[in-house]
Structure 1
Amino acid sequence: MIKNKPEAYGISSDNLLCMVQELETFVEDIHSISVVCDNDVIFSKCIQPYTEEPMQMLHSFSKSMNSIAVGIAIDEGKLHLDDLVIDYFKEYLPEEYDKRIDQLTVRNLLTMAANSCRLSTCFRGVTDSWITHYFTYKLPHDPGTVFQYDTGASYMLSSLVTKTMHKNVLALMKERVLKPMGITDIEWLESPEGNTVGGWGLYLKTPDIAKIAILLANMGKWNGKTLIPEEYLKEATRKQIDTPEEKYPVCGYGYQYWITADHSFGVYGAFGNVIVVNPEKKLAVAITAGASDKNGNPNRLISKIVNEKLFIPTERGTLKTDVDGEKKLKKYLDDLCLPYPEGAKNSCLEGKWFDKTLSLFFLVHVQQKSLILLT
């Protein structure tokens, strides 16, 4: 629904409609779209059958939230960008490890110039220390020299927050950021060590994701109160390292934020769970989705569309009220729904198999002799 008239913020209803149509055309399975400006939600739409109530799994969106906790620790002097990581975790070092890890810094972890524990699945089945497990990986490059996406680095950052702030990232974020914003419905996975996993595993509701978008559009301020250290967020959301394999609109990487074209930055989670922010215009767009990359990387595609269709043409100021444009936008948003699967809702096999007791037989081969077991 449209909550505030776009033209009052210098935003054209026609540009908003064009952006939404483009997103709908090229990004499959969008669950919600929210546009925020200044301290307000312009509109927030959950696309049927999705609603505001269920929590959305946000994947690597979590990394940028994790970075906020790191920024708080740095702002309070508990952690420093050039601190050596092993100085905090010497007791976790395995007997054999890549000695270049001795030179690994907090800055290297933040800029993804650290190690090669690329995916959360690297920790699958690890029941002892995930910190020790991270140190077992061989570095692909000298620390700080090359960007290489590293979800394990985000876990190490989370572990550093626990070590220095004496509470895990989720507890710290609830206390310093989320509770002051009225965000109470949040879940975030923990490791066996009790650390928030950091780089994934965050769940939020759509209205709360829009609140995060407002916070970032205002560079860490919520209703005039600073919740994210401003200097840290400025550094986190400007290019700190090149990302040579990424394409337009990605222009580099900050401290767990993607730097995009036209003075914007992005919070990227898999499958199109994204916030794209232009802090100069205090404007942001939040998307939740289950998109594939059949039309191109959904996160880059969303950023490109948002930049070209909304951020660039918007000058802010006040525009003349556009009643017809607002009506067209409202109607388009009201009519949005995802296609339902084709076919009958009921199976012809229901009568044959439902409400019956079934016996299952298993054939087990033991030492070349067949045994039939009945369960």
Structure 2
Amino acid sequence: MDLSMISAAIMPLHLRSCLIYRQEKLIFEHYRHKQIKHEPAKINSCTKSFLSALICIALDHGLFPPPDTRLGECIPMLDKEGNDWRKHITIRHLLTMSGGWRWKEFGGINSFPQMTRSQDWVSFALDQPMAYPPGKVMEYNSGSSQILSRLLVQETGGSVASFAETYLFGPLGINDYHWEQDPQGIHTGGFGLSLRPADLLNFGRLYLQQGQWENRQLISSELAVHSVRPAISVTAPWRGYYAWHWWCDSFERDRKPSFEYFYARGYGGQFIYVIPQLETVVVLTDDRRKRERPPVDVFPRLIAPHL
């Protein structure tokens, strides 16, 4: 690995942070200024991957319905929809963003902003018209994440944040965070979590180690591996595959795959890349305005070639 080449490539971008962990060592650490190391900041949709981890943990503890449970068994109102496709939506469909609702996160009908302006986000997400049979098409949908967050509260009997503190944040040493809530007081499943760069790195390391942390299995290795496997092809303009609220892709050299990776992705430049083959985790964060922001392909274009 040529760290000097990576450093030369990313320094002009003025990223908020860039951390590279490889083979049990933090080998590269960059912050725009030294205070950033200690300051929690919004990770936007990377929150989805943390929610996925919490659902895996709840499944391990027998506190959450199996993935192929129909959503109508958990939310009876869905069974009143006659022959609507939504009767066949399962928890797995929510995790893979393939519930089948007509939803455009941004642009077009702007489903996400409409949801956040509504008085009941979960009801808004559930009430959207169907466009596809469940499981057929991946359509990026933060409403699905909010439904999952509501189910986690319903099934565990406590808040999402308190569950995270007990089973995930506490063991990982995450004690300085902020997590937004919807009008019903349910922590946001698709965005809204603020963490430090080191917290993102440790979360990536947890998955690199197949759910194990300091000789303790926080997530069963079976679910830690299964939840980041490609589950459904993504729709343009995305590339690769989607797993359980994680993205999956591969880095290609000379038109041949060089290594596969999975990653958490948040609006504005928040990323956690996990490359099992190379025993590597890469964290990128940013916080600048859109016109000043670096391109979204920093990892595949400027970092991956040097790994």
Provide the residue aligned with 1:164 in structure 2.
Answer: 155
Q: Matched residue pairs, number?
A: 291
RMSD: 2.6
Report if the CA contact (8 A) 2:81-2:87 is conserved.
no
Provide the residue aligned with 1:174 in structure 2.
Answer: 165
Percent identical pairs in the alignment equals 22
Provide the residue aligned with 2:131 in structure 1.
Answer: 140
Distance 1:138 1:24, change over 3 A: farther
Encode CA deviations 1:10-49: one digit per residue, 9 max, x unaligned: xx3xx12212322345xx4410111112443223221137
Report if the CA contact (8 A) 1:30-1:47 is conserved.
yes
2:70 to 81, 84, 87: 84
1:124 paired with 2:113, answer no
Cα distance between partner residues in 1 of 2:171 and 2:3: 30
Note the C-alpha offset of 1:233.
Answer: 1.8
Encode CA deviations 1:153-189: one digit per residue, 9 max, x unaligned: 1111111111111123221111111111211001111
Distance 1:160 1:297, change over 3 A: farther
Note the C-alpha offset of 1:207.
Answer: 2.4
The runs of at least 4 consecutive aligned structure 1 residues that moved more than 6 Å come to: 94-98, 292-297
Distance 1:38 1:102, change over 3 A: same
Note the C-alpha offset of 1:302.
Answer: 2.3
Unpaired segments of 5 or more residues in structure 2?
A: 106-110, 251-258
Higher mean Cα deviation, 209-218 or 167-176? 209-218
Distance 1:232 1:284, change over 3 A: same
Report if the CA contact (8 A) 1:57-1:201 is conserved.
yes
Report if the CA contact (8 A) 2:3-2:28 is conserved.
no
Encode CA deviations 1:226-275: one digit per residue, 9 max, x unaligned: 1122211211211100114146xx42111111102022111101111101
Provide the residue aligned with 1:341 in structure 2.
Answer: none
Cα distance between partner residues in 2 of 1:160 and 1:284: 30
1:198 to 185, 189, 195: 189
Higher mean Cα deviation, 268-277 or 46-55? 46-55
Distance 1:94 1:105, change over 3 A: closer
Report if the CA contact (8 A) 2:79-2:87 is conserved.
no
1:57 paired with 2:22, answer no
Report if the CA contact (8 A) 1:237-1:254 is conserved.
yes
Cα distance between partner residues in 2 of 1:53 and 1:166: 32
1:186 to 173, 177, 184: 177
Report if the CA contact (8 A) 1:272-1:299 is conserved.
yes
Cα distance between partner residues in 2 of 1:42 and 1:212: 17
